[in-house]
Structure 1
Amino acid sequence: MARKPPRWYFSFGSAYSWMAYRDLVTRYPDVAEAIDWLPFWEPDDAHHDHLEATGVQLPYVAMSREKYLYVLQDVRRLARERELRMVWPVDREPRWEVSHLAYLVAEEHGHGRQFIDAAYRARWEEGMDISDPEVVGGLGAALGLDPGLLGGAWQDPEVRSRGLKALNAPYRDGVFGVPYFIDGFQRFWGVDRLPGFVSAVRHRMAAATAGAH
């Protein structure tokens, strides 16, 4: 059985995932180019019911007030350490299909990474509501993509079907939060575990290069 490529699961809804993204592309661009990028999000009711019916259970739990207050403090601290300008989002009832299914469309058109950058910047650096289809459509337009195609992806039956398949991947991989990194049997959860993942991937890449000579 062929070994799966190293990969990471990201979500536009997670500030920790945003910071992991920034670390990955600025500090470890070689690893960023060598791994698979896979989305992970909290499904809407229709997707949730379909996943449950097929035996797919994603580990979402409500956040306590105490944990929420801790996360607010922790995220601000980590952003300051990275000298990142951060605006805490105000989207009170997010619809994560809007942005993540738009990503699948952007990826299909060869602009997946650019869309990820734009979506993270919009939500965590500019305070925009990426659950608004018009906002997401605007992100697509800035990339030269049809804004209606991206803004309407969350309602497109074919794209929603692809979204269900995408959400099967974290279930199979046992993902329980983001950012989540996998290299072979090694798993790394959290932005602070990214250096360990990078080390593992680079070690394997070096060994493969040495074996080819």
Structure 2
Amino acid sequence: MTARTTKPPRFYFNLRSPYNFFALADLERDHPELLDRIEWRPFWEPDPTSEKLLAEAAPGAEFPFHPMSRAKQFYILRDVRRLAAARGMALTWPVDRKPWWEPAHLTWFLAEREGLGRSWVERAGRARWLEGYDICDPHVVRDLAEEIGLDGAEVAQAPHHPLVREQGVRALLDVHRDGVFGVPYFINGSEPYWGLDRVTDFAASFAPATAPAPVTAEPPTVPAAGRTTDMSHAGGCG
């Protein structure tokens, strides 16, 4: 049997999560060379349209989500405040009155096509966590996207465009197939790393740049558990 090469190292990101925002900041500060070596993949809570398309594409494939308890919400507020202070950040905690994550996350596909995927994640993250913008608002998303050079009209239509929605479903299927249950979530070879406190371990898992890439059998798929996982965890949430 012919061995298959390992998939590229992956970073499942989410524009909602403060832990994802911190993880990206830590990578930019301590391991910027990795940001061009990893495959960026979006992870977000799908709306009813995306859920329907996901179920049609792969019956039984569900996004892993379970709302956090009130006690955990208060804990995360304190935890994030501590983590922000340790990084010298003055966060503005967002209020998601009408959460709709498709506009911001589907915009990533347009940005990636133009070579601006990383720029979009960084811009949206700053807008949400440092500038107090509501990135669930399609008008805000359009304005932010135009700032980095994307076509505003195309961005506005992204949640309504069948081909962009199809890209989104494929991304959600990747979440399912890779067994991702929260963010930030990294995979290098067959090893997964979940949470802010695993950024250092993920970075350490890379061989020197001069070393040949390992060739191994592809790891078995870990199925997602359906809507049973509380992603909101100190160090990794959705």
Distance (Å, rounded) in 1 between the aligned partners of 2:15 and 2:88: 20
Aligned counterpart, 2:211: 207
Distance (Å, rounded) in 2 between the aligned partners of 1:11 and 1:204: 28
CA RMSD, 1 decimal? 1.4
Residue 101 of structure 1: how far off its partner (Å) = 0.2
2:17 partner letter: S
Deviations along 1:24-70, whole A, 9 cap, x unmatched?
Answer: 12221111111111110000011112323422122100111011111
Distance (Å, rounded) in 2 between the aligned partners of 1:204 and 1:39: 27
Aligned counterpart, 2:235: none
2:123 partner letter: A
Distance (Å, rounded) in 2 between the aligned partners of 1:87 and 1:67: 19
Aligned counterpart, 1:178: 183
Aligned counterpart, 2:68: 63
Question: Which residue of 13, 26, 34 corresponds with 1:23?
Answer: 26
Specify the SS of the correspondent of 2:127.
helix
Aligned counterpart, 1:14: 17
Aligned counterpart, 1:98: 103
**Residue 140 of structure 2 corresponds to residue 129 of structure 1:** no
Query: Where in structure 2 are the equivalents of 1:186-197 lying within 5 Å?
Result: 186-197=191-202
TM-score for the superposition, normalised by structure 1 = 0.93
1:56 partner letter: A
Aligned counterpart, 1:115: 120
The structure showing larger relative contact order (alpha-carbon pairs under 8 Å, at least 6 residues apart) is 2
2:178 partner letter: D
Task: Could you tell me which runs of 5 or more consecutive residues in structure 2 were left unpaired when the two chains were aligned.
Answer: 214-238
Aligned counterpart, 2:227: none
Contact 1:8 1:36 in 2 (8 A): yes
Contact 1:133 1:152 in 2 (8 A): no
Residue 151 of structure 1: how far off its partner (Å) = 2.6
Aligned residues: 208
Residue 207 of structure 1: how far off its partner (Å) = 3.1
Aligned counterpart, 1:143: 148
Specify the SS of the correspondent of 2:129.
helix
Specify the SS of the correspondent of 2:205.
helix
**Residue 194 of structure 2 corresponds to residue 165 of structure 1:** no
Residue 196 of structure 1: how far off its partner (Å) = 0.2
Matched-pair identity in %: 45
